[in-house]
Amino acid sequence: MKGQVIVSDGKLAQASVFTSLKGLVDGAAPRFRTASEYVEATLRAAILSGRLAGGLALRQEELAEIFGVSRMPVREALRQLEAQALVDFVPHRGAVVTEISADDAADNYAIRLALEPMALSLSIPHLAEPDFVLAADLIAEMDEEADPGRMGELNRRFHLSLYARAGRVKLLLLVEQQLAAADRYLRFHLAAKGREHMSQQDHRAMLKAAGERDVPAAVQVLEGHLRTAASTIAAFFASRG
């Protein structure tokens, strides 16, 4: 079997990462329609969570064995991830997990800074009681949460809860993608500053302004929130990597 190859040389660390992949999505997510969707979702979660680090080469055959499928669904999944800029195809070398850099982080925040105020502005007039309740619940959950990965998800869902009534599905789709990508950087943010810098007061202020249908105030808080996060992460990259 090729399994031995994985642990034979310097790839042991990778092997332990890979072998833990399979169960990653199984718990929360529903069953997938196709194998490639399953592989794609699992790999995407692993990359966004940082479990598969930038620069790592993902070889099709190896992944196929781990997931218990042929190389074909793996190939399709990797192509999808390529379209999402999560991997680069290098001929005869494999799909390489894209590196995250200060520049990428800046890009991500510039995009969010453009899209999210738009989404929020469109959504606020149509938000209803259940939306406010959900948002408040998520803030409360974040107060309790310690795990950084789960924290990222809660943060994402909070933001989306306020944008949900924007009525523009493709806009929201883009926002979701950018929020998911932001998780890759948020981990550094939390590591650098601790979870108290999750800016829960910003979240509360946004919710309050939204409740009062005060679009300019909500947008102002959101923009400050994003700019703060962006500069924190920029500082982190400047100091370390």
Partner DNA sequence: TATCATAAAATTGGATCCAATATCCATTTT
Partner DNA sequence: AAAATGGATATTGGATCCAATTTTATGATA
What is the distance between the alpha carbons of residues 46 and 40, in angstroms, rounded to a whole number?
Answer: 10
Task: By CB under 7 A, tell whether 5 contacts DNA.
Answer: yes
- Residue 100 Cβ, how far from DNA at the closest point, in Å? 22
Beta strand residue intervals within the chain, DSSP E = 57-58, 87-90, 94-97
Chosen from DNA, a copy of itself, none, partner binding at 12 (C-beta under 5 to 8 Å by type): none
- Among a copy of itself, DNA, none, partner that 71 touches (CB below 5 to 8 angstroms by kind): DNA
The structure tokens listed for 109 are 């925040």
- Is 88 a binder of DNA (CB under 7 A)? no
In whole angstroms, the minimum distance from the beta carbon of 170 to a copy of itself comes to 4
Of 47, 59, 81, nearest to 15 by C-alpha is 59
Q: What's the CA gap between 165 and 213, in Å, rounded? A: 13
Strand ranges, E, within 141-229: none
Does residue 89 touch DNA according to CB under 7 A?
Answer: yes
Q: Does residue number 72 form part of the binding site for DNA (CB under 7 A)?
A: yes
Interface residues with a copy of itself (CB under 8 A)?
A: 33, 75-76, 79-80, 83-85, 91, 103-104, 106-108, 110-111, 113-115, 117-118, 122, 168-171, 173-174
Residue indicated by tokens 């979240």: 203
Rounded-to-integer distance, Cα 232 and Cα 40, Å = 31
Residues 100, 184: contact at Cβ < 8 Å? yes
* Beta carbon of residue 71, minimum distance to DNA (angstroms, whole number): 5
> Measured from the CB of residue 174, what is the shortest distance to DNA in angstroms?
24
Decide which of a copy of itself, DNA, none touches 92; Cβ closer than 5 to 8 Å per partner kind.
DNA
**Could you give the string, one character per residue 26-65, with x where binding to DNA holds by CB under 7 A and - elsewhere?**
--------xxx---------------------xxxx----
**Residue 217: contacted member of a copy of itself, DNA, none (CB under 5 to 8 Å, by partner type):** none
Number of residues that bind DNA (CB under 7 A): 21
Separation between Cα atoms, residue 76 and residue 217, nearest integer Å: 44
Name the binder of 69 from a copy of itself, DNA, none, CB < 5-8 A by kind.
Answer: DNA
- E strands, 6-121, where? 57-58, 87-90, 94-97
Task: Report which DSSP code applies to 151.
Answer: H
- Cα–Cα distance measured from residue 101 to residue 207, given in angstroms and rounded to the nearest whole number: 31
Q: Which residues bind DNA (CB under 7 A)?
A: 5, 34-36, 58-61, 69-73, 75-76, 89, 91-95
